[in-house]
Structures are given as C-alpha cells and as structure tokens.
Chain A
Amino acid sequence: MPTRSASAAALSVSALAELISTLQARGYQVIGPAVRDGTIVYSPIERLEDLPAGFSMEQEAGACRLVKRNDGAVFGYAAGPRSLKSFFHPAEIKLISAERDNGTFRIVSDAPSPPRTAFIGVRACEIAAVRIQDRVLLEDRYKDTFYETRRAHAFIVAVNCTAPADTCFCASTNTGPRAREGFDIALTEIVDDGRHVFLAEAGSAAGKELLRELPKAEPAAELRKAAEKALQDAAGSMKRRLDTDGLAQLLYDNFDHPHWDDLASRCLCCANCTLVCPTCFCVAVDEASDVDGRSAERWRRWDSCFTQSFSYIHGGSVRHSPKSRYRQWLTHKFASWSDQFGTLGCVGCGRCIAWCPVGIDVTRELAAFRTSPAAVNSQGGSHD
C-alpha cells in the first residue's frame, strides 16, 4: 500500500500546524519531538511551536549535545534518547491489583484504556524497531495485550530522515533513512532557497483520508526530486557502517574471543544501552504490597541483561561477570535475535552509542571481531 503512487502532497509549515490540530480534533493525544532537558525527546505536543524548529543534536560516542541550526528545520535532528518503546511498552506498568479476602485473594485487572495517540516525527529506524517489537510481543506464541492496546490505534506520522547524526547507521541495517511501511503519513522536510515545505505521502487509508483535509499543493516533480536527493545524501553521509553479513555466525564462533575481556574492562553494566534501545524488550515483574498485607500490586518494569539479578536462579546468577553480560546483550542483538525472530535486534539508530557513558560503539566493537577472528574458540560442544 505505501507506495509513491499513493496520494502525495506538498504541505506548508502552517499545514503542519493544521495536521496537529486535526489530529487533536479527532481525539488523538499528539506526541512529538520537543526540546527538553537539553535534548530532543517525544513529549505531548499542543501546537506547532512545541516542535524543535531550529534545533538539532550533535551525537557522538558517549555524547549528545543540543545545538541550534540556522535553517529553522522542524525535524533537523536524528533519534533522541526516547523511542516509541516508552509509549507502546512503557517503562513501568501495573499488571494487576490483588486484594486479600478472608484467606483467599481477588485479582483485579484494572488496566485503564490507554488514550488514542498520534505520533509525529517518527523516523524509519523507529518504525522498524516497532515492527521488531511487534514480532516479539504480538506475533509470537503469545500476545502481550498491554502492548497491543497501546499499539493498535496509534496514528503514525513518519519523517524520512534527512539529518542523520554521526552515530547513525540505519543505511547499513537497511532500516532507513526512508520509511517504507508502517506509517499513516510520511513527511520529507525540504528547507532550501527560502522554501520550507514537506512532501507528504500517505501510507494507509487513514493517512490518505487525513491528508485530504489539509491545505496542500500538488507536489512538483522538482520537489519529489529534491526529497529523493536529500534522502540519498542522508544515506550516503552516514559516518558509521556495520557489515551485517554473516554477523550471527561471527559472534557464535567467537564466544571466547579475547575482545570480550577488552569490552568488559570498559563496560560499566549501567544498562543505559538497553534502556535507550528501541527494540530491547526485557522486563522484570515486582510485587508491591501495603503494610498490613491487605492489598498487593504487580508491576512490570523494564529490566536489563546487564544486571546481575537478571539471570539469578537458586544458587547464584548464571551471568555473574560483566563480560558474560555484555556478550549476552551483543550476541542477542546481532545473532540469536535472528534465530528467534528472523531479524536483527538492531535498527541502526545509534542510541546505544550516544548514551553509553564510556562511549562503547557497537559498530566498532563488532568490526573488531571481524578483523581479528579468534582461533581461541575453546569448545565445540563435545564431551571428552
């Protein structure tokens, strides 16, 4: 469905403002990028002026800095620390409440209906990440209904990315910079020669219908060309690359590579990478009860394979060394994820690189295994 031949339109900046108000009028809570705490994160958006026009983020390994840009671009930044995961698979959610009742207890499932939400400014990498989480939480053997209710009625306004950060590598993971599916409307922002315009393409019936309501112009062939070129330039300008060819086998074959020790000597096991990762889905479930033991709640919270408690079974943690925990994370993302769900667990958004406090860069670390594949892989599963 989402092809170029679907309805396309040229939108002005004021039409973007109308897009927001139209979504609000239809009962959507609108979430979009906003400048907050020295960075750009998804936040509730009331009006056009809430969007980060004229801002960008310089991102490098271990660094993310809000900077001004002088062209007034609204979407002139790449992935911020928050992803759609925060909305579809929230950091904490109450699973149940239970009340003691005469030696027995009653379980109350009191999850409120989440609001209908429209997201603006969603990058292609982000949509790819949502599709990956769909496979884990909706399309495997069981359905996570908490995820499903949040995900099902979301309206997604994608932005094809013309401003990748230095940490981005979606061109390598084939998840960007252009959004190819999974959106209702996709925008490509063009700012040049005094013109500020968005090429809008519908990716769903709902998107098509909404576009119809907005003031727009027929997009000139020249605008389509400019958008095409901007996206090609974006893909070509990415500083980081990842060779995904044979990556799973490379990691499986290098389980005992000395580079894991080198990595472990730097990794703080802080779990930042798993929190900012838009595909990391692991959770813990905690019990909370009131002091007199009459009522209890079960809360599901994001967890991380970098914690020692993550692998705890009676007798101790399976992965007690930082080395084994880093290995679990990287091997899951780039090897076992493919066995489990048929894709990589990485979309090339670069968040784990920017938000790692010691600047560990997965593209460099993975390349290190490639340049010095170890002959030290000590065992092949034999018993002798």
Chain B
Amino acid sequence: MSALTLAPPDVMIPVAARLATVDKETHDTFTLTLAANSREQELPAFAPGQFSMLYVFATGELPISISGDPAERGKLVYTVRSVGKVTHALVTSRPGESIGVRGPFGTAWPLKESYGRDVLIVAGGIGLAPLRPAILHVLRHRGDYGRLIVLYGARSPQDLLFRKQLSAWNYVPDTLIINTVDYGGLSWRGNVGVVTTLFRHVRLQPARTTAMVCGPEIMMRYVVRELLARGLSDEDIHLSMERNMKCAVGFCGHCQLGPYFVCKDGPIFTYGKLKRWMDRYEL
C-alpha cells in the first residue's frame, strides 16, 4: 500500500454536527437538537431505541440514546441528564457550537413486529428518553397499533420529563399515560410509589401486548416480574440495557453482559435473551 492511499474513515472517528437548540426539561435534564453543519452534510436516519456516541471537544465521548421523532429527518434529538463531566459539558454547550456524533448504533424497539398489538411502555427516570421515539412512532401510526399504555415513574414531580407531551398524549384515542413519583411533596395530587405500583391501574391482554421497558436495572427486574405474573411471554418483553461503552462497535469490550456486547447485540434485548444474565450480581 502506498503512503498516498488514504484509509477509509474509521468508525471511531466522529463527525461534527451543529448544536441547534438546548431546551431545559427539568432542573438537571436538557434536550439537545443537532442539525447539519453544512448544506452537504446529511445527518443519518435512526430507528427508535438506537443511540449515538456524542463527543464534546476536549472533554470526552458518551453513548446517548436518541429521543426525537424518527419521522423527522435532518436532525438528531437527545435528552441528557447532567450527571458527570461529559453530560455536564453537553448540556452547557451553546447553540451554534459543534458536537461530534458517531452512529446511530444498536438494536431498535420491535415496532414492526408489534403491528396490530397493544404497546406497553414502562419507563423509569431518564429511561423515558429512548422510549419517546417509539411512542412518537406509535402515535404517528396510531391505526397500526392497538392500545398504547405508558407507565412512567420519576423521583419527584420536578423530575418528570416531557410533562406537557405526556398530558397531551393522554387525549389520543386508545392511549393511556400514567405517571408516578417516588416522593410527591405537598402539592402533588398524582400517584406516589415505584413504577410497578401502576400495574394495578391497567388490565393487560397478555397475548396481544408487547412491552418495551427502560429504566434503572433494578426497576426493570421488578417490571419484568409484574409482566411475567400478568402472562406476558419472555419474547414479548423488550428491555434496553446500559453498560460502559468506549466504542459502540464491539471493539472496546467494556459493554459485555454475559455473552453479549450491549452496543451491537443490544441495547434492546428480549427478556428471553437476558433472563439468564440480568439477575446475576456483578455480571
């Protein structure tokens, strides 16, 4: 090979996109919209549930789920909770600045496979973000699906994400959105308790329900219990997993979960695939 031959761009090299808007969702969570940097640049399409690697110049790179509407081309939307160095840098970036993007990566929510079925979304905290593209897809193709049920738990009323959207969705036919919080405070009139306490408000038809779940691992374990107890099969329960990731393409080894790489075999798995591994301590 001659020195003049240029290697094709490596999957590890990010592309700079323009940060178009930063919207405050809660005290620590922000929604970032990326747009093309130039007329020539075309931001990639994504499937609901997939994630990107977002790079902040001189700070670092992180896997972040895409939270926008998959039907809206030309932009990429992420909802980020500021919990560390890179997420803080992301949410304090200003419109006009550049953010590096790689991806999208990973598996998607089974929306095609769920045609004609009831869709049950169970979300905990920031776990609602990767589920929002699935909700938006179902709402956009409302006639293709049966009931849409969203059970959503957050720490406190101040931590509830997309509150206006959630209330609006409740008026869509055959759509039920129920929230709960761990701590309500004096002015809260809604449900208090972990997300699994919301199951008593809904009657599922297990044979025709597909569940899509994302939240802290401990929450997902208990949600799975509820779903199994209500008769859902292992293959109709879909979970989005989180692990440390440095590459998103199966090279860095960090995201291994038993025999899987969460980045390329996941992040979304059926419970059938996960059940042997997800309850094991320190796996």
Contact = CB atoms under 8 A, between A and B. Distances in A.
Interface of A: 95-96, 98, 100, 103-107, 109, 111, 113, 136-137, 140-146, 148-149, 152-153, 255, 281-285, 287, 289, 293, 296, 298, 300, 303, 305, 310-315, 318-321, 323-324, 328, 332, 335-336, 339-340, 379-381, 383
A146 B253 CA distance: 17
Contact of A285 (B84, B216, B252): B252
B243 A379 contact: no
A287 to B, nearest CB: 5
Contacts of A107: 13-16, 100
B279 to A, nearest CB: 6
Interface stretch (B57-65, B136-144, B168-176): B57-65
B251 interface: yes
A383 B12 contact: no
7 contacts: A109-B10, A141-B249, A255-B280, A289-B58, A311-B243, A313-B242, A383-B228
Given A100-B57, A284-B252, A143 B244 contact: no
A379 B250 CA distance: 28
Contacts of B280: 255, 379
Contact of B244 (A100, A145, A313, A323): A313
B225 interface: yes
Given A320-B282, A324-B283, 19 more contacts: A95-B12, A100-B57, A100-B58, A103-B96, A104-B96, A104-B97, A105-B98, A107-B13, A111-B7, A144-B10, A281-B253, A283-B252, A296-B57, A312-B244, A313-B242, A314-B84, A319-B283, A340-B259, A383-B225
Nearest to B222: A383
Contacts of A142: 11, 249-251, 264
A57 to B, nearest CB: 29
B192 interface: no
Interface of B: 1, 3, 5, 7-16, 18, 37, 57-61, 83-84, 94, 96-98, 100, 216, 221, 224-225, 228, 242-244, 246-247, 249-254, 256, 258-259, 261, 264, 275-277, 279-283
Greatest chain A CB density within 10 A among B37, B224, B246, B251 is at B251
Contacts of B57: 98, 100, 105, 289, 296
Contact of B243 (A152, A300, A318): A318
Contacts of A96: 12-14
Contact of B58 (A103, A104, A293, A321): A293
A103 B244 contact: no
B12 A300 contact: yes
Given A287-B59, A379-B279, A303 B1 contact: no
B55 to A, nearest CB: 8
